[in-house]
Amino acid sequence: MNQLILPYQKNIKRTFDSFFSDNDKNLQIVDSLKNIFDRENSQTYLWGQKCSGKSHLLYSACNYYSKKNKKCIYLPLKEKNMFGDDILNSFVDYDLICIDDIDEIFGINNWEYSFFVLINKILEKSKKIIFTSSSSLALNKINLKDLQSRISWGLIYMIENPNENIKKSIINKIVSENDYNISTNVIDYLLNNKERDTFFLIENIHKIGRYSLSLNKKISVRDLKLIIN
C-alpha cells in the first residue's frame, strides 16, 4: 500500500473539498498544497490555533496525492511517546511527509537533530514535507539553530480562524459523519450562547453526540444542562 497514515480514521475521508473556508488566505494555502510538487521549494510550515484545520489539511494532502500515486506518510507528534525518533529514518523513501504538531518536539535534542537530518535528505532528493504547529516559527524555542534555519527556508503560512458560518458548516459535517442525533437548535444554541472557540465547540458537539448515541435519542436544547456545563 502506497499510503501510510498513523493513526487514521479510514471511515472519515478528509479532503481539500471538505476544508470549509471562505477566507482568501486559507484558500491560497489549499492551492499551494495542491501544487506542492510543481515548485522547487520542498517545505511548507502551517501554523494556527487549535481546530483551525491543520490536521485536516495534512490528511487532505495525503488523500489527494495518494490518488496521484505518490507515497505519503502522516506522523502525529502528539503521539510521539508511542515511537522513537528513529521512526524518521525511512521517511525519505516517501514522496510526501506530513508532520503534525512539529512544535511538540522543539527543545528535545534527539528529535530536533533527527528532523535536521531528515530535512537535509529531503532537500537532496527533492521530496516534499509539510509541518504544522500551533504557533509561529518565530515564537517556537528550538535548541538546534540549524534546524530552525532549515525550516525557515520553506514556505510559511498562518491558517486563519473560521468565521461563524464556517464553524456551523464544520459542526454540521461532524454531526453528519458521526450520525449524531442532534437538533439543529442545539447547534444554533452552541454557536450563540456557549464558548465560541472552535476547539470547545467541536469538543462539546462530540460530547453531546456521544450522549445521543448512548441513549439513542435526539438531543434538544433542554437536554444540554445534563450534558455540558
- Distance (Å, rounded) from C-alpha 15 to C-alpha 106? 29
Give yes or no for residue 137 having a pLDDT over 70.
yes
Domain holding 212, by residue range, is 164-226
CATH number at 64 reads 3.40.50.300
pLDDT value at position 223?
84
Among the candidates 158, 175, 198, a domain finishes at 158
> To which H or E segment does residue 198 belong?
helix 198-215
- Distance (Å, rounded) from C-alpha 85 to C-alpha 207? 34
- Digit-coded pLDDT (tens) for 3-34: 454 543 443 567 888 787 778 899 999 999 99
Give yes or no for residue 219 having a pLDDT over 90.
no
- Digit-coded pLDDT (tens) for 72-128: 999 999 999 998 999 999 899 999 999 999 999 999 999 999 999 999 999 999 899
What's the mean per-residue pLDDT of the chain? Answer: 86
Residue 153 or 199, more confident = 153
- Digit-coded pLDDT (tens) for 175-206: 988 899 988 888 888 888 766 667 778 888 89
Contact of 78 with 132, CB cutoff 8 Å: no
pLDDT-derived band of residue 166, with 50, 70 and 90 as boundaries? confident
- Distance (Å, rounded) from C-alpha 104 to C-alpha 94? 22
The alpha-helical segments, DSSP class H, found in 85-163 are 109-125, 145-152
Q: How many domains does the chain have?
A: 2
Nearest by Cα to 36 from 119, 88, 97? 97
Residue with C-alpha cell 489527494? 64
Q: 85 with 104, same domain?
A: yes
- pTM (2 d.p.): 0.78
pLDDT value at position 200?
78
pLDDT value at position 58?
94
Q: 94 with 207, same domain?
A: no
Q: What distances in angstroms separate CA 215 from CA 154, 209, 223, one per listed residue?
A: 49, 10, 12
Give Cα 108 to chain centroid, integer Å.
22
Give per-residue burial for 59-75: e unless 16+ CB within 10 Å, then b.
bbbbbbbbeeebbbbbb
Residues 6+ apart with CB under 8 A from 210: none
Among the candidates 158, 177, 210, a domain finishes at 158
- Distance (Å, rounded) from C-alpha 94 to C-alpha 72? 6
Residue 215 or 133, more confident = 133
Q: 65 with 169, same domain?
A: no
- Distance (Å, rounded) from C-alpha 31 to C-alpha 172? 24
Nearest by Cα to 56 from 187, 174, 190? 174
